[in-house]
Structure 1
């Protein structure tokens, strides 16, 4: 079956959140579309597409934050495994998406954790490839010495408000910090535009991350079309 037809079917599921079995016939057999989504994700195609799109854009500022996603009961049927990134928080079973975006609020990279996990541990992976002179915007939850040291060692500049209990509060640029709302708006758009992300239906973390990266590709394409 034609790959373009399959991709359109995958994006239809991503946008509407419907089960694969309910996919309209115009996109082909649901099992075929589902199987190719799994196979392409396992082969790393979605990763490479997102990386290729994100790399061509100059980044002078990055922002880091996280958001929790409630899990549908359909995603919890496999045996418990921390690698599935399903944890129990106040809202029930959930997954936390940790993201780094550029100055326009467009995603660059992701990590998934259990829903109840703290925001800071994924920074070891998310912020390990900064460029000298880049600004790193984050809220006060990220005001940890090791995060500031990690940013400084790469020649980047932390724009993080200090916690109230800091004995020696670090300085930060409050005007530049206001730009951080763009990553919050990004998460809002991600949930509002893609029902398959607003609620987690995928049983495996790999498939859920594939859905997130596909949505990211869509947002990047829309950005380039608007800028053209």
Structure 2
């Protein structure tokens, strides 16, 4: 757990497939920027995939990693970004699968309130919940 203005917090960084099922997950402190864990998550990105991420992941390094994997990075540009990139708002609508995943794991009380203070226990609980979600029809 990390410190932020709100106290002790943590962030879950997830990579999900086109059906909203978890592929990889990382946990960081609340003060850590989103793009820090992007490199380790993008290692699991399949070739030719479409990367949908929010503005927090808009950086030249992440776009270069996606290009190396022959993936298309459909990330909305930050307001202070110089230069332009191809962005499709119609494709970006599918990013709600990530938000649905986070909503579904927060339906479990232990995960929503983070009763586990140990990082290993908490990430294990998230993975068990993800396995349960994979088994749903």
TM-score, L = length of structure 1:
0.58
Aligned to 1:87: 2
For structure 1, which segment, 165-174 or 205-214, has the greater mean C-alpha deviation from structure 2 after superposition? 165-174
Residues paired across the two proteins, number: 137
Show structure 2 runs of 5+ residues with no match: none
- Alpha carbons 2:14, 2:26 under 8 Å: kept: yes
- Mark the structure with the bigger radius of gyration: 1
1:207 aligns with 2:121: yes
1:122 Cα deviation after fit:
0.3
Greater relative contact order (CA < 8 Å, ≥ 6 in sequence): 1
TM-score where L is the length of structure 2: 0.94
Structure 2 Cα separation of the partners of residues 178 and 99 of structure 1: 17
Counterpart of 1:162?
A: 77
Q: What is the SS of the residue equivalent to 2:11?
A: strand
Query: 5+ unaligned residues in a row in structure 1: which ranges?
Result: 1-85
Query: Alignment RMSD, CA only?
Result: 1.1
1:170-194 CA distance string (max 9 Å, x none):
11121111110111121111112x1
Distance 2:112 2:36 in 1: 23
Aligned residues of 1:163 and 1:169 also touching (Cα < 8 A):
no
Distance 2:44 2:15 in 1: 11
Structure 2 counterpart of 1:171: 86
